[in-house]
Chain A
């Protein structure tokens, strides 16, 4: 069974800092990996999707990388802002059953 781990569980940084969130998964046979943000009590907002054949994706201040062989992905956030405060989740899609496995998330607080 695929297991997805996110480290750290919580992170607090001052505004303007660059930061990295980590996601690791146990089975490298994935179709893709998706990063989401979740605001308290809300649904998930898709940030970036990386296909298994890709190494990275970028959107604005966000950059996500994927290293399938080592079972790792990172989400880089440049010049963090208070509005970035949320829980960030990564999810990997496996072929069988089209199922996504989610990590438990990193709670990010950006201090003004």
Chain B
């Protein structure tokens, strides 16, 4: 069974540009989560999508947005890139929307570098 996949592996952008990151969850998983792991900081929750809708977002500005497609894959968009957006962006998926047994499975991440 294929795990969570993310693309691209690396992404280099200049300040002010937009970045688009993609994630495909494990087959059968309906929930997708996005996290940011900046250097020296822990994993910060960004967004949670389930059944095509945004269910929750972390403490990030509106220029961080995304969507979930009918096949449950997801896209994270970061507009007006700033230098501090440079980080490893991790996507995770889980089987259930809510409930106690929502074990998360992570992808390998996309390394975003803003110059």
Contacts and interface: CB of A to CB of B under 8 A. Distances in A.
A45 B102 contact: no
Contact of A98 (B35, B56, B88): B56
Interface string B87-115: 01010100001111111111111010000
Nearest to A32: B100
Interface in A26-44: 31-32, 34, 36, 41-44
Interface stretch (A15-23, A46-54, A65-73, A78-86): A46-54
A37 to B, nearest CB: 11
Interface of A: 31-32, 34, 36, 41-46, 49, 51-53, 89, 91, 93, 95, 97-105
Contacts of A104: 41-42
B97 A98 contact: yes
19 contacts: A31-B100, A34-B103, A34-B104, A36-B106, A41-B111, A43-B90, A44-B92, A44-B106, A45-B106, A46-B104, A46-B106, A52-B100, A53-B100, A89-B42, A91-B43, A91-B104, A95-B98, A100-B104, A102-B35
A93 B111 contact: no
B31 interface: yes
A26 to B, nearest CB: 15
Interface in B37-85: 41-43, 45, 48, 50, 55-56, 58
Contact of B98 (A36, A49, A98): A98
A43 B3 CA distance: 12
B42 A98 contact: no
A102 B45 CA distance: 9
Nearest to A53: B100
Given A46-B104, A46-B105, 19 more contacts: A31-B100, A32-B101, A32-B103, A34-B104, A41-B109, A43-B109, A46-B106, A49-B101, A89-B42, A93-B102, A97-B48, A98-B31, A98-B55, A99-B45, A100-B104, A101-B45, A102-B35, A102-B43, A104-B42
